[in-house]
Amino acid sequence: MNHVMELLKSHTSVRKFTNKLVDDQLLKEIIQASQYASTSNHIQAYTIIRVKDQAKRKTLAKLSGDQPYVEECPIFLVFCADLNRLGKACSIHHEVIESSSTETFILATVDTALVAQNIMIAAESAGLGGVYIGGIRNNPQGVCDLLQIPHHVYPVFGMCLGYPEKINATKPRLPLSLILKEDTYSTDGDENHLTEYDELISNYYKVRTNNERSNTWTEGIATYLKNKQRPHMKDFLHNKGFEMK
């Protein structure tokens, strides 16, 4: 394994940070390097908002379902999928952006996720740690009002970054046999692999939490996905101009 792969395999979300500040220049370099993420048709359909204002951070922590690290972390970034700038590019050439398709929504969302993951990896390579915050979609309109996010732009997730105070053991991932298939989508033998993985995850949580938590992966998924997640998102996105026709 080379050092990039070793870094990838050492990822674990960090939610506790030291007080050490992150140099502004370092952050800029991380983001500039990350901009080289692949991007559909070179559209670069994202905008990142760094939130420094402590009052706004406090509000964001609340809007995200009371996640204290949103307020406490040295750096908090909000990643927005952005068609607004692309609309301007079109209007320079006297065209109107056709933004109503599901495909445009996918393009912008995928571009945003790709640059964000580059930032996570680049930050980790510089000794920082972080965690994504999907919790900002608990109240996406509140986030838009707070950060003056315009039409045709939506907050996809946030990200806390900083120097880690506490690093958890890496969380085991699904075995390769479950996520990598050859030629066809075959599910033969998946049940056995899931049972083995459930045991692995249960043990991971037992060790991490001193036996306070021992749920399996499938239990966690069933608990999470038995309910409709964030049902407000459909109308929110529609009102923001992501019509998904």
Ligand X SMILES: Cc1cc2nc3c(=O)[nH]c(=O)nc-3n(C[C@H](O)[C@H](O)[C@H](O)COP(=O)(O)O)c2cc1C
Binding footprint of ligand X on the chain (CB under 6 A) = 11-13, 15, 67, 131-135, 157, 171
Pairwise CA distance, residues 159 & 75, whole Å: 8
Q: Which is nearer to ligand X, 34 or 87 (CB)?
A: 34
Q: Which is nearer to ligand X, 105 or 157 (CB)?
A: 157
Q: Which is nearer to ligand X, 88 or 230 (CB)?
A: 230
Closest CA to 63 of 147, 140, 126, 162: 140
The residue type at 161: L
Least distance in angstroms from the C-beta of 108 to ligand X: 15
Cα 198 to chain centroid, rounded: 24
Least distance in angstroms from the C-beta of 230 to ligand X: 11
Least distance in angstroms from the C-beta of 38 to ligand X: 18
Q: How many CB atoms lie within 10 A of CB 142?
A: 16
Helices (H), the chain: 3-9, 24-34, 54-63, 68-72, 84-92, 102-125, 140-147, 176-179, 190-208, 217-225, 233-239
211 burial type by CB count under 10 A (0-12 exposed, 13-18 middle, 19+ buried):
exposed
Least distance in angstroms from the C-beta of 171 to ligand X: 4
Q: Which is nearer to ligand X, 14 or 107 (CB)?
A: 14
Q: Which is nearer to ligand X, 87 or 140 (CB)?
A: 140
Least distance in angstroms from the C-beta of 76 to ligand X: 12
- Closest residue to ligand X, judged by C-beta, is 134
Least distance in angstroms from the C-beta of 13 to ligand X: 4
Pairwise CA distance, residues 121 & 134, whole Å: 18
Q: Which is nearer to ligand X, 11 or 16 (CB)?
A: 11
Query: What sign does the CA torsion over 182, 186, 192, 193 have?
Result: positive
